Amino acid sequence: MTPPRIAAFRPDDGRIDEAAALLDSLGAEPVPDPMLTIEPTGESPPRADFVVLTSATGVAVLDDAGWAPGDATLCCIGDSTAEAAEAAGWTVERVPDEYDSAGMVAELREDVAGQTVALARSDRASATMPEGLRDAGADVSETTLYRLERPEDAGRSAELAAAGELDGAAFTSSSTVEGFLAAAEERGIREEAIEGLNDAVVGAIADGPAATARDAGIEVDVVPDEADFEALARAVVERAGGRASERSP
């Protein structure tokens, strides 16, 4: 049986290798195509009543810098972020039910009036959380912990998709969707790459990247109940097996 060829887009900081190894263990042919590199800014969030971290990458950047939350109420979006923070020795007190910015606003809305809230995120973070928390009466500061850049050689997955040779794709953020589309655009194959994805199995780790993909005309087949890469990879591989058999000569 032909293994499904699955593209993974994790950052080029070790996680892309872990993603490829996981896909291989699931019986897939991994196509590691990192759309992001991490460039720390050297900045840290100020002292605040609440500190909000949105990714395991942000935790790693702050931990490497020797930062600690002190007396702040530490809030994390997603289990992976919370687990990374706990592994760093920090106590996580708030994790929203919905793993996105709107979910964090809903989680903190009733508790932040008159309080200081420090958001520590990437340079591509949306305005949803600061606007929502300010509307709830919080004094919000924003710190850019790291910048996300796309590697110059990214885009093999777009070429395979355009050629009808990709069976699945696992997007882990809106930035990876945008990076895929930018790489395809630079190669003059954007429409073909989208068509190729729509003939494959497309997974998104959460509703945010799923919406970004759909807005671009990409049909999303899989959004796992838990925003976890392993759950995403398993679901995509399972559904893409039949597509691989059709592709094989």
pLDDT tens digits, 229-244: 999 999 999 999 866 5
Return the pLDDT at 128: 93
Find, among 104, 50, 94, 95, the residue nearest to 72 by Cα.
Answer: 50
Q: Which residues in 40-53 are b (16+ Cβ under 10 Å) and which e?
A: beeeebeebbbbbb
User: Mean pLDDT, to the nearest integer, of 86-90?
Assistant: 97
pLDDT at residue 149, as a whole number: 87
- Please report, for residues 36, 71, 152, 192, 195, the alpha-carbon distance to residue 172 in angstroms, rounded to integers and kept in the order given: 11, 32, 19, 22, 20
Q: Highest mean pLDDT: which of 34-38, 91-95, 151-155?
A: 91-95
- Residue 66 is predicted with a pLDDT of 96
Q: Is 104 strand, coil or helix?
A: helix
Q: What is the pTM of this model?
A: 0.74
Helix (H, G, I), strand (E, B) or coil at 5: strand
Judge contact between 110 and 238, C-beta under 8 A: no
Query: What is the predicted pLDDT for the residue at 121?
Result: 95
